[in-house]
Amino acid sequence: LTSSFYKTINKTIPEGGYCSQTYRQSVDIVVNDELGAEIKVRFVGGTSSAYSAFGYYCYPEGADVRQIRNAKKYVVFPNTKTGVGINGGECVKLHYIDVNGEDQGTVFPKGTKIGWFISNNAFTRKGTTPTGNVGKGGGMFYSTTALNSDKRTHTAAFKVNNFIVLSFEDWDSQDYNDVMFNIWSNPIEAIAPDVPSVDPIDPDDASVAYSMTYKGILAFEDNWPS
């Protein structure tokens, strides 16, 4: 992700600033391709001081609030503290997990909606919330506005060229730049969220998608140095 791209984002939703109402909206996406689609999520960055977990949930188009609330939640990035838990550009391909909690692979069927959540400070065993309370995290915030206890929309969205930026406000400020991520699909046109466009600072910076794939076996030792 290029430096000029980050400058465009920071100009759009500046730290300590005010996120325009133009960008504030629920950012649940829907798969509209007859054959379904694969969905990827890329971490862009964030300014939050919280060690929050980020994840997703699936529900059928037309589901009521009760169904959405009961949808199982799955963590994508356990720690979104920039530079500590994760760096901008890291990406995960999501799996479609049905209403029974069964993994159906990487293709999300047509009509599936995907929502997002932030579990504030959930990575820390005991975190101090912005109100000074000590405990396990500082609450849950969802892209589905009806699920938020304060009934506030906690997400914003815009696109730079064709790069869709979704962003969370993880407490009660107005800058909406606490956790930022990007989504895209294969095929590309399988998701088409209606989000406003932002002009890039560098007009020549038309491509911000690069790929580095790692495959292999990861093994852990839980009794080091044995």
Q: pLDDT over 70 for what percent of the chain? A: 90
Give the span between the Cα atoms of 45 and 195, in whole angstroms.
19
The whole-number average pLDDT for the span 196-219 is 73
Question: pLDDT grade, residue 126 (50/70/90)?
Answer: low
Per-residue confidence (pLDDT) for residue 89, from 0 to 100: 86
Give the span between the Cα atoms of 65 and 141, in whole angstroms.
15
Q: Is the pLDDT of residue 190 over 70?
A: yes
What would the two tokens of residue 77 be? 């990035």
Q: Write the CB contacts of 199 (distance below 8 Å, at least 6 apart in sequence).
A: 8
- Higher-confidence residue: 86 or 137? 86
The whole-number average pLDDT for the span 157-179 is 92
DSSP lists the bridge partners of residue 64 as none
Per-residue confidence (pLDDT) for residue 135, from 0 to 100: 38
The whole-number average pLDDT for the span 65-89 is 91
Task: Return phi, psi of residue 115, to 5°.
Answer: -110, 170
